[in-house]
């Protein structure tokens, strides 16, 4: 009997739906923690590993991002170029940008690494333009890449129109979308190093042969001598234009949990103060948990098994996933929902389990194919052996002459055997006749001898 993988997956889905979707819904006994009172009107805090939103305030409103745009520019550059590549500054990159920069000249050459540090630390607008032309071959092509990447990340309220964030009516995003972009960027090792670097030096270039360019990170929360120093800060990016006002992305790590805080359209200094308030509150009221270790066996998905077929033989759960819960939460109040993967391009993920608490999604666990081969039973049809695994067949080549000689040899042997058979029959017949005649002659001799003896007695 042949086991069909699709049928097996259907069995899995039916089982999971029975266990999770049809299960009695549990109402969380506790409500979601309220955040602190902040001055700004637009903010979000997201846990990076699970993607759980811990706090939000008007997080989906479209706003001008200013220079936090450069996080997307840096991400695309890291994904589509190498640090040692040479970047040449064009006339447009130098003369069609304004505001913050490091004052490069036309035809000046720097490495991509140097451009990225100038981009992230000093918020250099001409470097953003030069990076875009280098990676996208044109500014327009790079902007198209930015929007495609944003859409792929799930951004619904974002449209980029330049790589630096200078005010443009067609250039906007939201706190939530910016958190998604920032979360993706932080997955990149080189980006984490960029955003956490406090100072950097660009050596002399072809246009500045005797000058070292000194860079300092504008994220004030990194520096212990700054008013807004925050000991758990590991990077970020501030921005400002008159239209956007102050915007700020901050990364922070504490007790194994990494958060990103995004605030937009803030008054001066409120961006840092609000960010610190939000981060402190979230670190104090939430904890991150490994699903396998923390939820217990009673809350782990149990798939049906049998001696004949076990659906767990070809699917398994990603046990490394984590969830974020309020520190006072009861694990028994965590709800689970099965989501079937409808993306045909993702052939490894069957679906995922979505965990929620107090109407907030707190994490997911992927259900992945293991690649296991289902056992064939003796009464089943044997699968054909792949051609590459078959043993080579031995081929014996015989000429026509050889075939004819073999046939003649067989005929001769047969004829000889037939002759011997006939000869033996004649031989036994002749022998029999000879013995019979001899016996008859011997009998006549005895009779004659007896007659002769009688005559002599007379």
> Residue 290: what pLDDT?
80
Binned at pLDDT 50, 70 and 90, residue 24 comes out as very low
> Residue 303: what pLDDT?
47
Q: Does residue 174 have an active-site annotation?
A: no
HSE, side-chain direction, 13 A CA sphere, residue 68: 37
Nearest-CA neighbor of 187 among 75, 283, 81, 279? 75
The pLDDT of residue 423 is above 60: no
> Which residue among the candidates 67, 93, 275, 356 is catalytic per the annotation?
67
* 206 or 458: which leads in pLDDT: 206
Residues comprising the chain, all counted: 458
Alpha carbons 377 and 208: distance in angstroms, whole number? 76
Least confident of 3-17, 76-90, 93-107: 3-17
Alpha carbons 234 and 222: distance in angstroms, whole number? 7
> Residue 137: what pLDDT?
86
> Residue 289: what pLDDT?
85
> Residue 57: what pLDDT?
97
Tokens standing for 399?
A: 């000429």
> Residue 405: what pLDDT?
66
Q: Does residue 70 have an active-site annotation?
A: yes
> Residue 293: what pLDDT?
65
> Residue 339: what pLDDT?
84
Least confident of 166-180, 219-233, 250-264, 362-376: 362-376
HSE, side-chain direction, 13 A CA sphere, residue 151: 8
User: pLDDT tens digit string along 271-299?
Assistant: 999 999 999 999 999 999 887 665 555 44
Please identify which residue in the block is written with the tokens 């792949």.
386
> Residue 180: what pLDDT?
98
Tokens standing for 91?
A: 């006339």
Which segment, 4-13, 168-177, 445-454, is predicted with the most confidence on average?
A: 168-177
Q: Does residue 82 have an active-site annotation?
A: no
> Residue 269: what pLDDT?
82
Alpha carbons 415 and 457: distance in angstroms, whole number? 64
Domains in the chain: boundaries: 5-29+313-380, 43-291
Concatenating the DSSP letter of every residue in 3-20 gives PPHHHHHHHHHHHHIIII
Structural element, H or E, at residue 126: helix 125-136
* 439 or 339: which leads in pLDDT: 339
* 434 or 364: which leads in pLDDT: 364
Contact between residue 128 and residue 31 where contact means Cβ atoms under 8 Å apart:
no
> Which residue among the candidates 50, 93, 100, 123 is catalytic per the annotation?
123
Q: 290: which DSSP letter?
A: E
What average pLDDT does the segment 120-145 reach?
Answer: 97
State the virtual CA torsion across 116, 120, 125, 127 in degrees, nearest 10. -10
> Residue 340: what pLDDT?
82
CB atoms within 10 A of CB 142: 24
Detail the DSSP E strand segments found in 327-453: 335-340, 349-357, 360-369
What average pLDDT does the segment 61-80 reach?
Answer: 98
pTM strictly above 0.85: no
The pLDDT of residue 221 is above 50: yes
> Residue 418: what pLDDT?
63
What Rg value do the Cα atoms of the chain yield, rounded? 45
The pLDDT of residue 49 is above 70: yes
Q: Which residues of 151-186 are buried (b: 16+ CB within 10 A; e: fewer)?
A: eeeebebbbbbbbbbbeeeebbbbbbbbbbbbbbbb
> Which residue among the candidates 70, 220, 277, 322 is catalytic per the annotation?
70
* 377 or 131: which leads in pLDDT: 131
* 20 or 61: which leads in pLDDT: 61
- Name the β-bridge partners of 213: 202
Burial, 293: exposed, middle or buried (Cβ in 10 Å; 0-12, 13-18, 19+)?
exposed
Contact between residue 306 and residue 278 where contact means Cβ atoms under 8 Å apart:
no
Nearest-CA neighbor of 249 among 123, 150, 114? 123
Q: 21: which DSSP letter?
A: I
| Phi, psi at 398, each rounded to 5° | -125, 130
* 439 or 43: which leads in pLDDT: 43
List Cβ neighbours of 84 (8 Å cut-off, separation of 6 or more): 111, 112, 113
378-386, long-range: CB < 8 A, 24+ apart: 379/1, 380/1, 380/2, 381/1, 381/2, 383/2
Binned at pLDDT 50, 70 and 90, residue 156 comes out as very high
> Residue 429: what pLDDT?
54
Binned at pLDDT 50, 70 and 90, residue 365 comes out as confident
> Residue 369: what pLDDT?
74
Binned at pLDDT 50, 70 and 90, residue 25 comes out as very low
Alpha carbons 229 and 234: distance in angstroms, whole number? 11
What average pLDDT does the segment 431-439 reach?
Answer: 57
Helices and strands in the chain, H and E counts: 11, 15
Pick the CATH number of 43-291 from 3.40.50.300, 3.40.1260.10, 3.10.105.10, 3.40.710.10: 3.40.710.10
| Phi, psi at 333, each rounded to 5° | -90, 0
């Amino acid at each position: 009997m042949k086991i069909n993988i699709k049928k097996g997956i259907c069995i899995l889905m039916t089982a999971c739906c029975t266990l999770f979707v049809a299960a009695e819904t549990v109402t969380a006994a506790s409500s979601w923690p309220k955040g602190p009172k902040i001055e700004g009107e637009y903010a979000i805090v997201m846990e990076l590993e699970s993607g759980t939103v811990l706090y939000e305030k008007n997080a989906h409103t479209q706003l001008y991002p200013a220079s936090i745009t450069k996080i997307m520019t840096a991400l695309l550059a890291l994904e589509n170029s190498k640090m040692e590549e040479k970047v040449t500054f064009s006339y447009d990159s130098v003369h069609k940008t304004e505001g913050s920069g490091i004052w490069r000249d036309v035809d000046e050459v720097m490495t991509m690494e140097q451009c990225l540090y100038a981009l992230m630390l000093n918020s250099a607008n001409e470097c953003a333009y030069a990076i875009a032309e280098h990676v996208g071959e044109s500014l327009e092509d790079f902007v198209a890449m930015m929007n495609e990447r944003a859409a792929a990340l799930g951004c619904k309220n974002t449209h980029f129109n330049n790589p630096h964030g200078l005010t443009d009516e067609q250039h906007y995003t939201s706190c939530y979308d910016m958190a998604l972009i920032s979360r993706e960027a932080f997955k990149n090792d080189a980006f984490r190093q960029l955003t956490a670097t406090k100072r950097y030096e660009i050596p002399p270039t072809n246009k500045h042969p005797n000058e070292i360019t000194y860079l300092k990170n504008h994220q004030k929360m990194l520096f212990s001598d700054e008013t807004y120093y925050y000991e758990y800060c590991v990077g970020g990016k501030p921005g400002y234009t008159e239209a956007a006002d102050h915007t700020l992305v901050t990364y922070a790590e504490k007790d194994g949990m990494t958060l990103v805080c995004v605030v937009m359209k803030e008054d001066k200094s409120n961006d840092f103060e609000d960010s610190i308030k939000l981060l402190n509150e979230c670190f104090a009221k939430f904890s991150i948990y490994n699903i396998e270790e923390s939820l217990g066996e009673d809350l782990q998905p149990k798939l049906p098994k049998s001696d004949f077929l076990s659906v767990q033989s070809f699917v398994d759960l990603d046990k490394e996933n984590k969830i974020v819960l309020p520190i006072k939460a009861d694990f028994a109040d965590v709800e689970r929902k099965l989501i079937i993967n409808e993306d045909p391009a993702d052939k490894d993920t069957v679906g995922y389990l979505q965990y929620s608490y107090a109407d907030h999604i707190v994490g997911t666990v992927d259900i992945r194919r293991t690649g296991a081969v289902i056992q064939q039973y003796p009464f089943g049809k044997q699968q054909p052996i792949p051609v590459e695994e078959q043993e080579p067949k031995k081929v014996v080549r015989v000429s026509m002459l050889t075939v004819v000689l073999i046939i003649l040899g067989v005929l001769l042997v047969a004829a000889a055997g037939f002759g011997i058979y006939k000869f033996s029959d004649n031989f036994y017949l002749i022998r029999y006749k000879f013995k019979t005649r001899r016996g008859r002659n011997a009998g006549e001799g005895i009779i004659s001898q007896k007659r002769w003896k009688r005559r002599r007695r007379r």
